[in-house]
Amino acid sequence: MAVDDVLLPVPRPHGPAVSIERSILLLRGQRVLLDRQLAELYGVGTKVLNQAVRRNLERFPEDFLFRPTEAECEALRFVLPEALGRGGRRHPLFAFTEQGVARLSSVLRSPRAVAVNVEIMRAFVRVRRWAGEHEELAVKLADLEREFGARSAEHAAHIERIYALLDELAGPESEGALEERVWIGFRTSSNAAGS
């Protein structure tokens, strides 16, 4: 499985980007935040966050929270090495979708968790809006490529016609002209006999 098929960072807008937006990844076609990133944002340890989640797993269906496969984790090492820590993990990591992050606020009830959760939800909205704007650009680009392809085929036909006309002009008369040519320069006995 190729790295690009497994994990892609979500494209970022240029300019100063919020660290939350930079942390959002595209995994299995969904925008997610990893448990370690969320723990940093909430100001708690990853172990504490994961314990709270494990105690309340019934609140997190699969479309809210999932564990990346080994291949996805390996791809994460190349794309986002700081997300996995230095020495490796003893427990598999959690990936929270936008709905999972919203549900996380009901598990972590500190005032900081509520404030951070609001900012995370706003970041998801900004990334979704940015992706929507660029989707329109992608559609326009596809239209341009189709138009260019049609014109390219037309141009190729014109170029073929030009080459055919040049071949007609260069006809058989010019092929014999090379043999009638007077050769100049140094001649050896082998090529002197031929001229």
- Mean pLDDT of all residues in 73-87: 68
Measure the CA–CA gap between 172 and 4, rounded to whole angstroms. 56
- The residues spanned by each domain of the chain are 3-136
Give 36's contacts (C-beta < 8 A, 6+ positions apart).
46, 83, 84, 85, 93
Judged against a pLDDT cut of 70, whether residue 20 lies above it is answered with yes
H runs (alpha helix) in the chain = 3-6, 19-23, 35-42, 46-55, 70-79, 98-107, 111-169, 172-177, 189-192
pLDDT tens-digit readout, 122-166: 888 888 887 777 777 777 777 877 777 777 778 888 888 888 888
Task: Give residue-wise pLDDT tens across range 95-121.
Answer: 998 888 888 877 887 778 878 888 888
> Does residue 73 or residue 182 have the better pLDDT?
73
| Cα within 13 Å of Cα(193), Cβ side | 2
Q: What is the pLDDT of residue 70?
A: 86
CA angle 60, 49, 30 (to 5 degrees): 45
